[in-house]
Chains A and B, each alone.
Chain A
Amino acid sequence: SQKIEQNSEALNIQEGKTATLTCNYTNYSPAYLQWYRQDPGRGPVFLLLIRENEKEKRKERLKVTFDTTLKQSLFHITASQPADSATYLCALESIGGRDDKIIFGKGTRLHILP
């Protein structure tokens, strides 16, 4: 069955360091991989999208890598700040085919410690 896993339920990182979050998947052929941020009681907020034929994408302090051979994405936040503390969700989206249209990981809670 389709499966998407994100690393550890919670990740504690010292302010100023780089936070690295992992997203692994099996039995799914994504056309796109997306990362979202979700704060308590709010809907997810879109951060970055990377296509299956792209290896890396950057936006300000954020960087996403996508390895379709390893079936893995890494999400990096450089120079982390306490305001970056949130839950980060990974999502895979397929176009057509037999896969579910979109599946989400359960998220990684990130705590940036001052």
Chain B
Amino acid sequence: KAGVTQTPRYLIKTRGQQVTLSCSPISGHRSVSWYQQTPGQGLQFLFEYFSETQRNKGNFPGRFSGRQFSNSRSEMNVSTLELGDSALYLCASSRDGATYGYTFGSGTRLTVV
């Protein structure tokens, strides 16, 4: 079966711009979560959506937001980009949270210049 698909794979943006990243979960998975991965901080949880509702949120500023659609696809938006937002953004899906583990996509590599 198809895995978790993230688009685009690479993105270069200018400081101050905004960006939208997309994630298509595995069919039947209703939970979608987003993570930021940097060499310094490692993998950090941004937020989780389940059935179109944000269920959990990490410790990131309000510039980071997301949403989930009725088909479980999810988007993440970062407004007013800063140089420090350069990172690998990963999306993961699961049937319902941790019990079955998370299936990650290959990520979107965002570079802010």
Contacts and interface: CB of A to CB of B under 8 A. Distances in A.
Contacts of A106: 42
Contact of A100 (B33, B59, B100): B59
The bracket for how many chain B residues form the interface is: 20 to 34
Contact of B106 (A43, A49, A107): A43
Contacts of B44: 104
Contacts of A82: none
Of A34, A36, A100, A101, chain B has the most CB atoms within 10 Å of the CB of A101
B110 to A, nearest CB: 14
Given A100-B45, A101-B56, A101-B58, A43 B104 contact: yes
B42 A44 contact: no
Interface residues of A, number: 25
Interface of B: 4, 33, 35, 42-45, 48, 56, 58-59, 90, 92, 97-107
18 contacts: A32-B99, A34-B98, A41-B106, A43-B104, A43-B105, A43-B106, A49-B99, A89-B43, A93-B98, A95-B97, A100-B58, A101-B45, A101-B58, A102-B33, A104-B35, A104-B42, A104-B43, A104-B44
Given A34-B102, A104-B43, 18 more contacts: A31-B98, A32-B98, A36-B104, A41-B106, A43-B90, A43-B104, A43-B107, A44-B43, A44-B104, A45-B104, A46-B102, A49-B98, A49-B100, A101-B48, A101-B58, A102-B45, A104-B42, A105-B42
